[in-house]
């Protein structure tokens, strides 16, 4: 049994990162273990629909931003996934089992004036994306 635990300790650091994430209950931070394969990466404009290893993952600090609102990036068969401090702009999220913490989830669309506008659920413009 000690050998198995020792081997797990050797292997885990290869597949997981760790951060201290502040919460209301613990302003100094809760320890969060995240998946290295999908964390702190740029997946802008890419889809991970065929990824079979996302179930139950914690993803930290990645960008999944898309050009079109409500773009499917992740398989809807995923029941549980957690995103922390990720850019999920224009990404369709299959909640309730999907958790987002500190993520950017704004929906935006380019309009005739050449500017990106934040849009509502009906894709109607509400205000300019980078409005001062």
**pLDDT tens for each residue of 25-45:** 878 777 888 999 999 999 999
d(CA 88, CA 99): 12
CA angle (74, 22, 100) in 5-degree steps:
20
pLDDT at 14 over 60: no
Summarize the confidence of residues 13-22 as an average pLDDT: 67
Question: How many domains in the chain?
Answer: 1
The owner of tokens 């913490």 is: 101
Binning pLDDT at 50, 70 and 90, where does residue 15 land? low
pLDDT at 110 over 70: yes
pLDDT in tens, 51-96: 999 999 999 999 999 999 999 999 999 999 999 999 999 999 987 8
pLDDT of residue 24: 78
Stated pTM of the model = 0.79
pLDDT of residue 16: 66
Residue 117, domain extent = 2-128
């Amino acid at each position: 049994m000690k050998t198995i635990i020792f081997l797990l300790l050797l292997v885990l650091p290869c597949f997981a990162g760790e951060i201290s994430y502040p919460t209301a209950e613990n302003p100094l931070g809760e320890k969060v273990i995240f998946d290295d394969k999908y964390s702190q990466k740029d997946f802008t404009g890419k889809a991970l629909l065929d990824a079979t290893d996302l179930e139950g993952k914690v993803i930290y600090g990645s960008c999944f931003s898309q050009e079109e609102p409500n773009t499917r990036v992740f398989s809807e068969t995923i029941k549980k996934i957690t995103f922390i401090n990720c850019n999920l702009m224009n990404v369709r999220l299959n909640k309730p089992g999907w958790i987002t913490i500190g993520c950017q989830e704004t929906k935006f669309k380019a309009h005739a004036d050449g500017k990106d506008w934040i849009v509502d659920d009906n894709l109607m413009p509400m205000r300019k994306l980078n409005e001062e």
